């Protein structure tokens, strides 16, 4: 299955997310790292567009300004690597926490599923939240409201996907 199809389905077809719980974990990790790369490149682009010596407010200190100009070639790769590492950490922690919450939701809904299945479903359910967080600075809405909306959207997508999970067998 192509990553583009996974991306489109995670945006448009939330019921298909339940079927993706059976994908190999390698494919899910690849998709996760593609999302992380998109977020990192977008954030790095914003960083480089907003970076200038004036932002450091050191124009009166010629020596420091010259030093920053000299090491700017080193600043960009280090920033990109740090952004990638922190974004990776943040997204994987979010997936783990949403999957943990999804485990409890699954129990309440009396559906069968393991944490690994929920983790995979959560990865695809977070696509909208990741895109909203990327674009949050360009929207005229408070970032707290966007974060709460992203949380509710991800949980809603998980619940929609959990409807397609198999039901728990009735105990006799």
Q: What is the mean pLDDT of each run of 10 residues along the chain (172 residues)?
A: 84 85 90 94 84 50 68 81 94 96 93 92 93 86 89 94 88 70
Residue whose structure tokens are 């783990």: 96
Q: H/E/C letters for each residue in the chain?
A: CCHHHHHHHHHHCHHHHHHHHHCCHHHHHHHHHHHHHHHHHHHHHHHHHHCCHHHHCCCCCHHHHHHHHHHHHHHHHHHHHHHHHHHHHHHHHHHHHHHHHHHHHHHHCCECCCHHHHHHHHHHHCHHHHHHHHHHHHCCCCHHHHHHHHHHHHHHHHHHHHCCCCECCCCC
Question: What integer pLDDT is reported at residue 74 of this predicted model?
Answer: 80
pLDDT of 83 reads 92
pTM of the predicted protein model: 0.81
The token pair at 32 is 């996760």
Domain ranges for the chain: 3-162
Q: Which of 129, 146, 133, 128 has the alpha carbon at shortest distance from 46?
A: 133
């Amino acid at each position: 299955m192509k990553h583009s199809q996974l991306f489109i389905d995670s945006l448009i077809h939330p019921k298909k997310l339940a079927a993706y719980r059976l994908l190999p974990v390698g494919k899910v990790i690849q998709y996760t790292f593609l999302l992380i790369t998109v977020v990192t490149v977008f954030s790095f682009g914003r960083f480089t567009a907003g970076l200038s010596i004036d932002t450091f407010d050191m124009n009166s200190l010629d020596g420091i300004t010259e030093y920053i100009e000299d090491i700017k070639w080193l600043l960009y790769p280090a920033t990109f690597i740090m952004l990638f590492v922190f974004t990776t950490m943040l997204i994987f922690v979010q997936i783990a926490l949403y999957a943990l919450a999804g485990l409890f939701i699954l129990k309440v809904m009396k559906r069968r599923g393991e944490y690994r299945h929920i983790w995979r479903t959560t990865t695809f359910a977070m696509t909208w939240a990741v895109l909203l967080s990327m674009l949050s600075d360009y929207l005229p809405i408070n970032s707290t409201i966007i974060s709460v909306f992203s949380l509710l959207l991800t949980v809603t997508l998980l619940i929609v996907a959990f409807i397609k999970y198999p039901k728990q067998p009735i105990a006799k």
